[in-house]
Amino acid sequence: MHSRLVQSDMRIVDAFQEFLNYATLERCLEPTTILWYQKSLKPFYKYLRRKVLQPDVEVLTTENLRDHFVSLRLGGNSPRSLINIMQGTKSFCSFLVKRGYLSKNPFEGLEKPKLARRLPEFLDEEEARELLQVCISLKRKYKSRWKRDIAIISMFLFTGLRKRELLNLKLKDLNLERGYIKVFAKNKERLIPLSDTVKEYIIEYLEVRPKRDNMDYLFASTNRKNSPLTHQGLCDIFKDLRGQVKFKKKISPQILRHTFCTLMLRNGVNIRDIQLLAGHSDISTTARFYLGCDDKQLKQAMNKHPLNT
């Protein structure tokens, strides 16, 4: 158990490193999350260095935090960007309180910038069908790449996977006999059922998937031998498809994830089931994203009021 005695002589630079080690080794957070923490904390450390050459945790005051965030806002950071930075810094301060380096969190009483509510972008049913059909009709030089890309787009549309979750899928995570995939993310595991449609696309891909020695990831790179599909490789798939579809909306793994959730909601799936399938830790996240975005559904619901004549 960590001591509750306040150790205010802890240098900020050492505290930063201890926090990153904790996030990496104890919480096993994704590399992208670790990088986000580093980007959030680096400007604050530079700000503190301008005040004190070797700052310790004593300089982590509400006043200094407020001054830092005001300077970022005046420097051109948007309210959304500022909130993102504040969240990373707040996690760091909470860690310091937990470890006994601070007596209280300096974020207490610090207000966040106000944000206009931004609804998630998504494809409607017709656009989602067009995207999948374009992917199917877009013949590739190598059949393995063609079938792989179809399987990938269908998995995003039919399961709502996050980008990192899809790239991390391994062959052992796939159970076609029972019809599900096992996903591990954010220190949690969940099982996602597979529809017959997406199972068919996966089976067709597995029949032509290149054989790779010591490479057990589900989606293999077609350019790099014995390598899984990379983030850049996934970006290239979406870049190709953007030039082929007729609609003007953006397409990305995140937008297809929102598409999955929105289409499920529109077709009567309850919000609790969507939360479990999407892997949201809190149902309020699901509700905030999707319950407020379907005006058409709300109007239809109001028309069902029994007092309507």
Secondary structure, 3-state, the chain? CCCCCCCCCCEHHHHHHHHHHHHHHHCCCCHHHHHHHHHHHHHHHHHHHHHCCCCEHHHCCHHHHHHHHHHHHHCCCCHHHHHHHHHHHHHHHHHHHHHCCCCCCCCCCCCCCCCCCCCCCCCCHHHHHHHHHHHHHCCCCCHHHHHHHHHHHHHHHHHCCCHHHHHCCEHHHEECCCCEEEEEECCEEEEEECCHHHHHHHHHHHHHCCCCCCCCECCECCCCCCCECCHHHHHHHHHHHHCCCCCCCCCCHHHHHHHHHHHHHHCCCCHHHHHHHHCCCCHHHHHHHHCCCCHHHHHHHHCCCCCCC
> How does residue 266 score in pLDDT terms, banded at 50, 70 and 90?
confident
- Chain segment 184-217, per-residue pLDDT in tens: 877 788 999 999 999 999 999 999 998 877 889 9
Indicate whether 78 pLDDT > 90.
no
57 found inside a domain: yes
Pair 168, 231 in one domain: yes
Higher pLDDT, 123 or 73: 123
Pair 80, 151 in one domain: no
Residues spanned by the domain of 43: 12-99
The predicted structure's pLDDT at residue 5: 44
Pair 140, 84 in one domain: no
Indicate whether 130 pLDDT > 50.
yes
Pair 77, 176 in one domain: no
Indicate whether 287 pLDDT > 80.
no
Pair 92, 130 in one domain: no
- Chain segment 235-263, per-residue pLDDT in tens: 999 999 998 999 999 999 999 999 999 89
Between 25-39, 67-81, 111-125, the lowest mean confidence (pLDDT) is in 111-125
Pair 179, 86 in one domain: no
Indicate whether 145 pLDDT > 60.
yes
Pair 88, 220 in one domain: no
212 found inside a domain: yes
Pair 28, 144 in one domain: no
We report the CATH number of the domain holding residue 234 as 1.10.443.10
Q: What are phi and psi of 238, to 5 degrees?
A: -70, -35
200 found inside a domain: yes
106 found inside a domain: no
Structure-token match 């080690």, residue found: 21
The predicted structure's pLDDT at residue 47: 83
Pair 153, 48 in one domain: no
The predicted structure's pLDDT at residue 201: 97
> How does residue 148 score in pLDDT terms, banded at 50, 70 and 90?
very high
Pair 49, 134 in one domain: no
Give the end of a domain, one of 84, 99, 114.
99
- For 99-108, what is the mean pLDDT? 86
Give the end of a domain, one of 82, 99, 116.
99
β-bridge mates for residue 46, sequence order: none
116 found inside a domain: no
Pairwise CA distance, residues 266 & 125, whole Å: 10
- Domain count of the chain? 2
Pair 268, 183 in one domain: yes
We report the CATH number of the domain holding residue 47 as 1.10.150
Pair 132, 175 in one domain: yes
256 found inside a domain: yes
Higher pLDDT, 100 or 301: 100
